[in-house]
Amino acid sequence: MKIKSLVISISFVLFSPFLEKIAAQDVVIEWSPKMDEFVLGYYKMMADQIGLKNTEVNTISNCMLTQLKAKFPKGLRTSKEKFAEINSGLAKVCLSGKVLIVPWNDSNKAYVRKRFIEELPSDMPEEKKQQIATCFLTKYIAKYPNGVSTDQSVIAAQKADFKAIELICAKEIK
């Protein structure tokens, strides 16, 4: 698992919940002041849930809405999966050059745990996956108690620690 993509994924854990909160069918957006408010409200709510500061929530949410409207000025109708891809691309644009600390909260821990387990070998017993994930999260959070950074100057160190801790836990849990 690449730490940079994990950091971006952690940073924008918000897009999956956004999609779950809207209708089960295709995502349909027809621009109007009310729709702008709705989409911005969801972006803000989800960004806030991952623990970003208010200024970060506002800046990123407004950027996301602006980018979405610019990319789809006439609105859009698409699948939830495609909309998630669109939002991931928008997040990369809106996060570019920004340095954020994504703090550890229950939502972020659960997301990292889930993604970590998905990267383990599929033939590994579920109980062992859970044990390794618990070990990993405990050690990684101890190493980065304030959260993970999107600062390019520290991503390499975070990635190295990620891999080292993953190997330590895999050896400890036999």
The predicted-structure confidence for 1-25, as pLDDT tens digits, reads as follows 444 445 544 444 444 444 444 444 6
Q: Which domain holds residue 50?
A: 3-97
Q: Residue range 53-73: average pLDDT?
A: 92
Q: Which residues lie below 8 Å from residue 103, measured CB to CB, with a gap of 6+?
A: 51, 146, 147
Same domain for 74 and 128, yes or no, is no
Which residue shows structure tokens 């954020």?
A: 100
Same domain for 13 and 62, yes or no, is yes
Same domain for 29 and 91, yes or no, is yes
Domain end call among 34, 64, 97: 97
Copy the structure tokens of residue 39.
């989409």
Which of 25 and 155 is assigned the larger pLDDT? 155
DSSP code at position 122: T
Structural domains counted in the chain: 2
Domain end call among 97, 120, 138: 97
Phi (first) and psi of residue 86, to 5 degrees: -60, -45
**Nearest one of 155, 39, 36, 14 to 91, comparing CA atoms:** 14
Give 3-state DSSP helix, strand, coil % of the chain, rounded to 5: 70, 5, 25
**Nearest one of 92, 88, 149 to 162, comparing CA atoms:** 149
Domain end call among 69, 97, 125: 97
What is the reported pLDDT for 64?
A: 93
